[in-house]
Amino acid sequence: MVADTSTHTTKPSIGDYLRNNIREYGLLVALVIIMLFFQFVTSGVLFRPVNITNLVLQNSFIVIMALGMLLIIVAGHIDLSVGSIVAFVGAISAIMLVKWGLPAIVVVPACLVVGGIMGAAQGYWVAYQKIPSFIVTLAGMLVFRGMTYVVLGGRPIGPFPKDFQILSTGFVPDFLYFLNPSPEIIKNMVALVAVLALVGYAIYAGIRNRRINEQHGTENEPFVFFAVQMAVIGVVALFIGFQLSTYRGLPNVLIVMGVLIAAYTFVTTRSTIGRRVYAMGGNEKATKLSGINTERLTFYAFVNMGVLAALAGMIITARLNSATPKAGVGFELDVIAACFIGGASASGGVGKITGAVIGAFIMGVMNNGMSIMGIGIDYQQLIKGLVLLAAVFFDVYNKNKGKG
């Protein structure tokens, strides 16, 4: 009850800093440990170029949906319907492409619009009629799954034209082949150059950020942490980039995913919309009384989720080269789990895009690694469940300890 109101200027020690930010570093460390663990137990299969490519292809849609889900969870809601939206959008994309023969350039935007409408249909009940999102999206999950069966008539549709498939199985062509120093090892120069440029930019931006902070007297993280973090991320990125460049280069999906991650990170950390979503999740009434249209914000969070789920739905359908009524079953749980592993709070107002992405990768690497090891789906589920519980327990434990 004694609130510390004195102005103290003591600089926190490195130990304090680590303790206060243990969540963020812990997540990164956990991902690295999990990767190294599977690299070891699969005798190096995990980091083979072809497997890294597979990892990206298999998990891209979870990451993409986690971006939208994070906003929903931060806003204080949940969306259980995304798996069903994936299936329905997959089904209508198949009908449009295969049965009606429409070109992909028309089908892709049309499907995104359909996803948005499905999100809006749910957002309306949540935002304006104040029905709990759990119930609305549970209904949505059933309704959309039912609609998928209806439009598909219970039978899968496929295969798809090539121009639609490049969405999920295509690679960025090697237009920088002339720079390649050793074509025997490196098969795709673009991948290498892109990763080098990205790591270079990350280091540059990080240093610039620190300088700006210094100028404004804002606390920086200790330099050691900054350096180690940059080194780890840099090495991992370069290694993965190199491995990809020795295979087929950058998958198109990776580019889509990268752009979306960057965009959503920007929106959540720098934009007024992002700030308002966090405020609304933290205290909806206070936010509303501050003149913010919380209903509209909630509504658009669901529209956004619908659009991202539609995108994910098309990627999955294209990858499987067939639309089936059972597509996307249980995806909502993987997506929600990724957000919670990434540190989002179930009561709203807390969570980061980077956390959700790392959470999605932790899930993805575990799925992939355990499959390579030949662990059955039964034990995979069991282990994933325990990891989710452990991650959230870690959060709660830290929070309580912080209270003293």
Partner 1 sequence: MDNIILEMRGITKTFPGVKALDNVSFKVREGEIHALVGENGAGKSTLMKVLSGVYPAGTYEGEIHYDGEERRFSTIADSEELGIIIIHQELALVPLLSIAENIFLGNEIADKGVIHWPQTFSRTQELLKKVGLTESPATLITDIGVGKQQLVEIAKALSKKVRLLILDEPTASLNETDSDALLKLLMEFRNQGMTSIIISHKLNEIKKVADQITILRDGGTVETLDCHKEDISEDRIIKGMVGRAMEDRYPPREPKIGDTLLEVKNWNVFHQHHRDRQFLHDVSFKVRAGEVVGIAGLMGAGRTETAMSIFGKSWGHKITGEVTMRGQPVDVSTIPRAIKAGLAYVTEDRKQLGLVLINNIKENTTLANLSAVAANGVIDERQERKVAGDYRTKLRIRSHSIYQEAVNLSGGNQQKVVLSKWLFTNPEVLILDEPTRGIDIGAKYEIYTIINQLAAEGKGILMISSEMPELLGTCDRIYVMNEGRIVAELSKEEASQESIMRAIMRSGEKH
**φ, ψ dihedrals at 170, nearest 5°:** -80, 165
Minimum distance, C-beta of residue 340 to partner 1, in the bound complex (Å): 17
Residue 138 has a CB neighbour count (10 Å cut-off) of 15
Distance of alpha carbon 209 from alpha carbon 221, whole angstroms:
11
123-135 exposure pattern, b = at least 16 Cβ within 10 A, e = fewer: bbbbbeeeeebee
Toward partner 1, which CB reaches closer, 81 or 354? 354
Q: Least CB distance from residue 323 to partner 1, whole Å?
A: 37
Binding-site ranges for partner 1 (CB under 8 A)? 1-9, 212, 216, 218-219, 270-273, 275-276, 278-279, 282-283, 285-293, 349-350, 404
Nearer to partner 1, 1 or 153 (CB): 1
Looking at the Cβ atoms of 1 and 396, the one nearer to partner 1 is 1
**For residues 58 and 364, what is the distance between their CA atoms, to the nearest angstrom?**
8
Return the H-helix or E-strand segment holding 301.
helix 294-320
Output the six-digit token pair for 7: 């102005």
Question: In angstroms, what is the minimal distance from the CB of 351 to partner 1?
Answer: 11
Tell me how far, at minimum, the Cβ of 404 lies from partner 1, in Å.
4
Min dist. Cβ of residue 76 to partner 1 (A):
12
Nearer to partner 1, 122 or 287 (CB): 287
Minimum separation from the CB atom of position 283 to partner 1 (A): 4
CA distance 307 to 297: 15
CB closer to partner 1 out of 349 and 369: 349
Token pair of 24 as six digits: 């963020």
The smaller minimum CB distance to partner 1, of residues 188 and 294, is found at 294
In whole angstroms, what is the distance from residue 310 CA to residue 90 CA?
8
